[in-house]
Amino acid sequence: MGEQLNDFVHGPLDMYRDKATFDWRKLKVYLEGEDILKYKQDIYSKLQNEDCFKPTCGPQTFEEIRYQTFLQAKAYKSFKSVTEHINESTKEELATTRILTQLAPSSIPKQSVIFLNHLKKLGTHRHRQFMEDVYKNKVTGCFCLTEIGHGSNLKGFGTRAVYSKEKKVFTINTPNFESAKCWAGCLGQTATHAVVFANLEIDDKQYGLQSFIVPIRDVNTLLPFAGIIVGDMGEKTGLNGVDNGFILFKNYEIPRENLLDKLCDVTEDGLFILKVKDLESHKEKSRIALSIARISTVARNECLGTKGLVVAVRYAAVRKQFGPGDGPEVCLLEYQTHQYRLFPYLAAAIVFKNTWMYLADVQDNLDFYSKNRICNVSLASELHAIACGAKAISGWTMRDVIQGCREACGGHGYLKVSGFDDTRSAQDAVLTYDGENYVLLQQTSNILIKLWPLIVRNQKISSPLESFDFLSNGDNLLREGRFTIKTVKELFNQTYILYIYDWLVVYLIKSSAEKLENQNKQSEFWVQSDNQIFYAKDLAVTYIERLFLLKMLNLINNAPDKKIQEALTDMFFLYALWNIRNHMPVLYQGGFASNRLISMLVKEGILKLLGRIKNNAIALVDAIAPPDFLLNSVLGYSDGQVYKHLESAFLRFPNGLSRPTWWKEVLDSEQIPSKL
Amino acid sequence: MGEQLNDFVHGPLDMYRDKATFDWRKLKVYLEGEDILKYKQDIYSKLQNEDCFKPTCGPQTFEEIRYQTFLQAKAYKSFKSVTEHINESTKEELATTRILTQLAPSSIPKQSVIFLNHLKKLGTHRHRQFMEDVYKNKVTGCFCLTEIGHGSNLKGFGTRAVYSKEKKVFTINTPNFESAKCWAGCLGQTATHAVVFANLEIDDKQYGLQSFIVPIRDVNTLLPFAGIIVGDMGEKTGLNGVDNGFILFKNYEIPRENLLDKLCDVTEDGLFILKVKDLESHKEKSRIALSIARISTVARNECLGTKGLVVAVRYAAVRKQFGPGDGPEVCLLEYQTHQYRLFPYLAAAIVFKNTWMYLADVQDNLDFYSKNRICNVSLASELHAIACGAKAISGWTMRDVIQGCREACGGHGYLKVSGFDDTRSAQDAVLTYDGENYVLLQQTSNILIKLWPLIVRNQKISSPLESFDFLSNGDNLLREGRFTIKTVKELFNQTYILYIYDWLVVYLIKSSAEKLENQNKQSEFWVQSDNQIFYAKDLAVTYIERLFLLKMLNLINNAPDKKIQEALTDMFFLYALWNIRNHMPVLYQGGFASNRLISMLVKEGILKLLGRIKNNAIALVDAIAPPDFLLNSVLGYSDGQVYKHLESAFLRFPNGLSRPTWWKEVLDSEQIPSKL
C-alpha cells in the first residue's frame, strides 16, 4: 500500500479526524499534485516488493547495516535505470530523494550520483566510457573534494597533481594526513574510481584546483592499487550503511587523459590551456547547479522533520495524561504547552515543503526565469542566496522539530521502534554537509548587503525570482516603518506580516552595511567576520523567512476550497508570529516598535492560533504523512494503535523474553573479589 | 592518569594556553575542592585497572554492550562497597555519578540503587533481608512505577493489588497492556525482585497507591515465575547497556509482609492502618528526597554537556579555516560566529556546575538550612521549586550544548570516535526521565504564583535558602522598575543584572496570577493549563536563571585571585546577557524597557565578552575537563593532536582497510535483473 488516499482504519484518531474543518485528502492532492502522487505510488509498490526495504526486527550489526544498504542501492538501481532519471523533472527527482531519505537514507550516496554529475559537468568524450561503466554497474564512482584538515576553504587543500612531460602522466601526492581526501561516500570499501580534486602543477608552476578521474581499486578484485592508502572512516552517528572513506596518494600516476577537460587541458608537452572563453557564464551555470543540490537538502530536511512530526502529533492525539478533577484523562493535544511544542513545527514543515516545491519548479523552468526581466541581481546570485539560506534554516529548524517531537513523546520516544533515533541521525548529517551553515548564511547576507548603495539612492531593485524587489521601497520603509496595529485581528493580515519582514530585512541590511563602513580601518576580512552575529546572520535569516512566507501566499491563494485556505492561512500566521518573536529585539532596536503592544499582540496571536489549529492538526498531518511502511514508527502509524504496536514490538524483539546468555555470571556473586 | 593537574603535553593548544590570563590549575582546585579531587583521583586509578572500562575499538553488537555494562557494574560494586556509599557526602556521591555518567552511563542503573533507596525509605525490619541480599549480590532489584500508558499522572495507574483475608496474600493484576509496568532498569533481563506500585484494594475498597516487594525471577535460574510476563523493551537511542523492561501480572500472589509498611499496613484480617501520625512531615521528607534525586540530574546534564564542550573548544583552537588575504588560515576560535556558538555554552556549564555543587552543600547541611529562619516558604517547597526547574533547564541547555558543539566540529563531529553520539544519546534520556520538563516547570511556577497575594500586600517574604527573599520588594519593583542604563560599562554590574531578573520574576508572577484571576469562569484545571506558555513557564525559567546567577556571586566573591575572579565574572555576564536576550519581549511588554537602548547594549555587551573570553577559553575548558580516558574523543584530547588521533582511529578500525566480505557481489553486475 502506498501513499494513503483511502479512508484510514477506524480507531483512536477518529475523534480528531472527525473534528477537522477540511478534507485532508483534498489538501494532500493539492500539496503534492496528482502526477507526483501517481509517480510515488509506482515507486512504493516496487519498493515494497523488495525484502531489503522491509523493516528489520531487533538490533543490526555494523556489517549487517552495510550489507543491507548495498542490497537496497542495488535493488533501487535495478528498477530505476539511470537513463530514466535523466528525463525526470526536478519534482520527480526530489520525490524519489524524499522517499529514499525517509526509508533508507544510506542508500542514496551509494549510487555514484555525484561522480556521474561531475563527469557530465566537467568531463568530455575522453571520459564517456567511465560513465557508461557506471550505468552498467561495472564501476562504482565516488567524489573526493574535502580533506581531513580542510573543509569549506578550497584554498587550503594540500593534494597535488604534478604533470610529467616525459611520462605523460599526472603524479598525485598527499603531503600529509591533513591533506588526505575524506568523507567521500563509497570510498571506504567499494568505489573503484574517484573524481579527485588536486592542485595542478606543471614545471613548478601552480594552475589551481582541477579534477581528475582516478582508478583506486581493481574492478576485478576490489583491492586497492599500490601507491594508495584507502580505508573506511568507521562508525558514525548514523548513515552507517555508507562507507565514507579516506584516501592518501603516494607518487600515484594517472594518464594525462584523466584530467576532466571541459574547461581546461594540459597538452602532451605540458602546456596548460583554457578551453572555455566565457568562464563567467560557466561559473554562473556552476553556481546554479550547486544551488539545485542545496535545494535538495531542503527537501531532505523537510521530509525527515515531517516524519518526526507525524509521529509526535498522532501520539499526542492518542496519549492521555492528567485531566480536570476526577474526570477522565485528556489527550496531550489538548494542552497548550503541547500545542506550542508541536504546531509551530507543523507550520514549518508545510512552509518548507511549499518552498522546495516552488524552487523545484524554478529549476524546471530556468530558461523562463533567467530571461524574463531586466534585473540588478542575476538568477545565479538570487538562487545562491536562497539556496544557501534555505539549506541552513531548514536544517536547524528540522533538527529542532525532530528533537522537540522526540521529547514530546516522553520516554517512549527514546525507544528505537519510535523511529526518532534513526530520523535524527540521518538529519544530523545534513547539518554539516553541503556547506557549513554559518558560512552559507554569510553567502546570503553578502549578496543582500551589496544592494545597500542602491537602496540609499532609491533605485529600483529587481531580481528574476522577485525575492529582492521589495527592496526598491527600502528607503521609504526605513523612514516610515512603524508598528501601528492595535488588535490581534489587525495583526492577522498577510500584507502586514510581510510589511514587518520587509522592514526587518531592510533595517538589517542598513545596520550590517553601516557596521562594515564604520570599521574600515581593520582588514576587510575581520570586519566582515565581526559583523556576523546579530547583523549579517540575522539579515540572512529574515530574508529567507520572508521568502518562505511570500511563497506561502501562492499556496494559500490557489487553494481548492475555503476551508483548506483557512487551514493553510493558520500555518502562515503561526510560522510568521513564532519567528517574529525571535526578532523582537531588532524591532525595538531599530525603532519599528516602541511600546508594549507588539509583544502582547504577537503572544496573543500565537495562543489564538494554537487553539484554532488543535482540531485540524491530525488532518494536516495526514495530508503530509508518508505511508506507514516509510514512517516505520510504533508511535505514529495511521491507525493510532500506539499500545498495540508497542506490545507487538516488545514481544517480537529477539530474545526479549529470555535470560541473557551469560545469566550464570549474574548469579555468581562469589566471583566478585574485593579490591579494597 | 587521573584528573589533569600537571602541565599538559606541549602541542597545538600551547598558543591559547599561553594566552590565558589566569592559572587553570588554581581554578580547577577552586571549583572542585582539594578533597573531591583526591577522592576522584582514587576512583580513576581503580577504574583504569579494569579492562571493562577501557574504550572499545569499532562497533559493538547489542549483546556486547549489554555484557560489557554488566561487567562494569560488577567491577564498580567490587571496589566501592554499598556501605562505603552510605557514609559519603552528597558532593562525593555526585562526583561518582559524574564519573560514571561520563565514562559508562549505562552502568549506573545496573546497581539496584533506587530499589535500595525505596526500601530504606518505606520498608521496615520485614524487608531488611532483601537489602542485605542486594549487598551480597544475591538479589538484583528494580523499581516499577511508570506504566506503559501512564507516566507522570499517578492517578491513572491500572495495576491493582487485592488483599485476600483467606490466603493472607496480595494478588497483583495488570488489567491491560497500557497498565504494564515499564522502563524499570534491570527489569528486562536480570532483576530478581522489584518494588512495584499498585492500587491497594481490600473488600472492594480502594486505599490508594502502595508499594510492594515482588519476587519476579528465580534467584537460582534467573527464569521468571509463573503468572508474570516480563521482558526487555529492546533497543533504545542510547544506554543500551541497561535492560529496561516491562512486566505484566496475572493473579500473581505475594505474601502480606511484602507490603512496604513504614507508613501503612494491612493486618492479617484485612484492616488497613495508617502507621504514621505526622503524614505531612513525612511528605515533606519525601519531597526533599525527590528533590535531591533531581539535583543529581543537574550534575548529569552538566557533566555530559561539559564533555561535549571540552571537545568543541579544543577542536576550535586546533582546526584552521580561511583567513585574511593570502595569509595562513586561522583557528575557528578566532571567528565571532564560532565564539558565539561556544562561549555561552561554556558559561552555562560553569554556572550549572556551581549550582549543583551549591545544592549538594545544602543537602549535606539540611538541618542547618531547615531551622535557621522563620519563613513563608518551607525548605521542602523551596528545594522542590529549585530542583524541578533546574532539572528542566539544565536538561534543555545541555542538550543544546552537546548538539551545538557537535555541529561546531563540522563533519568530523559526526564520527563515533568524536564522542558526540554517545554523549548526546546518554543526555537525551535525562530529558524525559525523572519528571516531564514542562510538568516540572509548572511545579516551580505554582509555588511562585502562590506568593502573589503576599507581594500585593507588601509582606516580607523569606525562604530557608533565600531564593524567594527578593520578592519582599516585589511591589516596589513593579512600580519603579525601569531600564535606566546608558552604556555597556554600566550594564556590566552584577547588582544591576540581578535587578533586571528581580523585575522579570515579579512581573511574570503578577501577569501569571492575574491571568488566572481573570479567567476563573472556566475550570481551574484548564485555566492553569492555558497559562503556561509565555507566562508560568517563563516565570519558572527566569526564577531559576536568577538563582543560578545569584549563586555565581558567591563563587566570584570567594575566588582565590583577581584573575580568576575576572574570568568567572565574564562567565556570569555572558550567561546573564545571553539569556536576557530571550526575555526581551517580556521586558518591553511589562514596560521595564521602552526604548532601543536595552537591545543595543545587551548585544554590544555580548560581543565585548566574546572577544574577551577568547584567550581564556582553553584554560577554562582545561579547568573543567575530565581526564582524557573519560573524555574519549579523538577531537578533544588534552594534547590537541586532533589529526594524529583521527589517523590512528581510522587505521585501528576493524577491517577498515579491507574489502567487504561480500565484495564479489559488488562486482557481480550481471546479477541485477531489470524489473521494469
Say if A433 is an interface residue toward chain B (CB within 8 Å). yes
Q: Is the domain of A470 the same as that of A324?
A: yes
pLDDT in the model for residue A279: 78
Give yes or no for residue B672 having a pLDDT over 70: no
Amino acid at A643: Y
B595 vs B310 pLDDT, higher one: B310
CB contact, 8 Å: B406 with chain A? Answer: yes
- Give B520→chain A minimum CA distance, Å: 14
> B156 and A672: CB-CB below 8 Å?
no
Do A245 and A328 lie in one domain? The reply is no
Cβ distance B414 to A421 less than 8 Å, yes or no, reads no
CB contact under 8 A, B414 and A407: no
How far A421 CA lies from chain B's nearest CA (Å)?
5
Identify whether residues A225 and A311 lie together within a single domain. no
Closest by Cβ to A222, choosing from B66, B136, B666: B666
The rounded distance, in Å, linking the Cα atoms of B616 and B624 is 13
Q: Which of A605, A624, A643 is the last residue of a domain?
A: A624
Does B528 map to a domain?
A: yes
Contacts with A415 from chain B: Cβ below 8 Å = 233-237
Can you list the alpha helix ranges (DSSP code H) found in B123-196? 128-135
Q: Terminus-to-terminus CA distance in chain B, angstroms?
A: 63
Considering only CB atoms, which chain B residues are within 8 Å of A523?
Answer: 324-325
Q: Report the length, in residues, of chain B.
A: 676
Question: Any idea of the CA torsion for A440, A442, A443, A449, to the nearest 10 degrees?
Answer: 160
Distance CA B323, CA B335 (A): 10
3-state secondary structure of A176: coil
**d(C-alpha B366, C-alpha A221), whole Å:** 71
Model confidence at B601, pLDDT cuts 50, 70, 90, reads: very high
Mean pLDDT, 10 residues at a time, chain A of 676 residues:
79 97 97 94 92 92 96 86 68 93 93 89 94 89 94 85 97 97 96 97 95 96 97 97 98 97 95 87 83 92 98 97 84 96 98 96 89 81 96 98 98 98 98 93 96 96 95 96 96 98 98 83 78 90 98 98 98 98 94 91 96 97 97 97 97 95 83 42
**What tens digit of pLDDT does each residue of B431-475 get?**
999 889 999 999 999 999 999 999 999 999 999 999 999 999 999
Which of B50, B132, B667 is most worth mutating to test chain A (most A CB atoms within 10 A of its CB)? B667
Say whether B669 and A138 touch across the interface (CB within 8 A).
yes
- The domain that contains A222 carries what CATH number? 2.40.110.10
Residue A71 lies in a domain: no
The three cell numbers of residue A297 are 537538502
Checking if the pLDDT of B521 tops 70, the result is no
Mutate to test the interface with B, among A46, A343, A534, A600 (most CBs of B within 10 A): A534
DSSP assigned state of B10: P
Q: How many domains does chain B have?
A: 1
What is the DSSP code (8-state) at residue A112?
A: -
B135 has a chain A CB within 8 A of its CB: no
The distance of B337 to chain A (nearest Cα, Å) reads 6
**Do both A161 and A286 map to the same domain?**
no
pLDDT at A86: 62
Task: Read off the pLDDT of each residue in B167-179 and give the average, rounded to a whole number.
Answer: 97
Contact residues on chain B for A246, CB-CB shorter than 8 A:
650
CA distances (Å), origin A603, targets A538, A577, A580, B130, B542: 21, 8, 10, 55, 18
Asked if residue B13 lies in contact with residue B635, where contact means CB atoms within 8 angstroms, the answer is: no
Nearest Cβ partner for B237 among A323, A421, A595 = A421
Boundary residue ending a domain (A215, A244, A277):
A277
Give yes or no for B458 touching A (CB within 8 A): no
Does residue B82 form part of some domain? no
Task: Count contacts between A and B (CB, < 8 Å).
Answer: 362
Q: Which residues contact A6 (CB under 8 A, 6 or more apart)?
A: none
DSSP state for residue A313 in the 8-state scheme: H
Mean pLDDT of all residues in chain B? 93
Mean pLDDT, residues B42-67 taken together: 93
List strand residue ranges (DSSP E) for B15-146, in order.
141-144
Residue B444 labeled ligand binder: no
Residue of B76, B193, B584 to mutate, testing the A interface (most A Cβ within 10 Å of its Cβ): B584
Of A153, A323, A534, the CB nearest to B329: A153
The C-alpha atoms of residue B77 and residue B86 are separated, in whole angstroms, by: 13
State whether B222 and A666 contact (CB < 8 Å).
yes
Give backbone dihedrals phi and psi of A583, rounded to 5 degrees, phi first. Answer: -95, 5
Q: Are residues A548 and A563 in the same domain?
A: yes
Contacts of A230 in chain B (CB under 8 A): 657
Tell me: pLDDT of B58 over 60. yes
Answer whether B234 sits within 8 Å of A675, measured CB to CB: no
Distance in Å, alpha carbon of B413 to nearest chain A alpha carbon: 9
> The CATH number of the domain where B437 resides is what?
1.20.140.10
Geometric angle at alpha carbon A75, from A71 and A78, rounded to 5°: 140
What's the pLDDT score for residue A270? 96
CA pair distance A121, A635, nearest whole angstrom? 45
Per-residue pLDDT of B210-263, as tens digits, reads 999 999 999 999 999 999 999 999 999 999 999 999 999 999 999 999 999 999
In which band, very low, low, confident or very high, does the pLDDT at B669 lie, cut at 50, 70 and 90? low
pLDDT of residue B85: 61
Same domain as A498, residue A386: yes
**pLDDT above 70 coverage of chain A, percent:** 96
Domain boundary among A604, A624, A644: A624
Does residue A440 belong to the interface with chain B, where contact is any CB pair within 8 Å? no
Flag whether B165 is in a domain.
no
**Chain A (297-326) residues lying within 8 Å, Cβ to Cβ, of chain B:** 319-325
Residues 6+ apart with CB under 8 A from A186: A109, A110, A112, A140, A141, A142, A242, A243, A245
Domain span at residue A174?
A: 117-277
Q: How far apart, in whole angstroms, are the C-alpha atoms of residue A211 and residue A199?
A: 9
Give yes or no: residues A244 and A308 share one domain: no
**B146 labeled part of a ligand binding site:** yes
Are A289 and A356 members of one domain?
A: yes
Q: Which residue has the cell 500585593?
A: B456
In a domain, A49, yes or no: no
Q: Is residue A215 part of a domain?
A: yes
What is the three-class DSSP state of A180?
Answer: coil
Helix (H, G, I), strand (E, B) or coil at A579: helix
Q: Binning pLDDT at 50, 70 and 90, where does residue B675 land? A: very low
| CA–CA dist B316, B346 (Å, integer) | 13
Please report residues of B whose CB lies closer than 8 A to that of A519: none
Does A254 share its domain with A309?
A: no
A-chain residue closest to B676, CA distance: A79
User: Strand B205-215 vs strand B193-202: parallel, antiparallel, or unpaired?
Assistant: antiparallel
User: Which grid coordinates belong to B520?
Assistant: 476563573
Cβ contact B336–A529 (<8 Å): yes
* pLDDT given for residue A248 in this prediction: 98
CB B363 within 8 A of CB B292: yes
A464: closest CA among A352, A376, A355?
A376
Q: Looking at the predicted structure, is the pLDDT value of residue B63 above 80?
A: yes
Looking at the complex, does the CB of residue A328 fall below 8 Å from at least one CB of chain B? no
Sign of CA dihedral B658, B664, B668, B671: negative
- Asked whether the beta carbons of residue B589 and residue A607 sit closer than 8 angstroms, the reply is no
Report the Cα A303 to chain-centroid distance in Å. 9
Cβ contact, residue pair A607, B665, below 8 Å: no
Co-location of A189 and A298 in the same domain: no
A667 inside domain: no
CB contact (8 A) between residue B81 and residue A676? yes
Residue A531: what pLDDT? Answer: 82
Chain B residues close to A434, C-beta within 8 Å: none
* Same domain, yes or no: A234 and A258: yes
In a shared domain, residues A333 and A316: yes
CB contact under 8 A, B437 and A407: yes
Q: Is residue A141 part of a domain?
A: yes
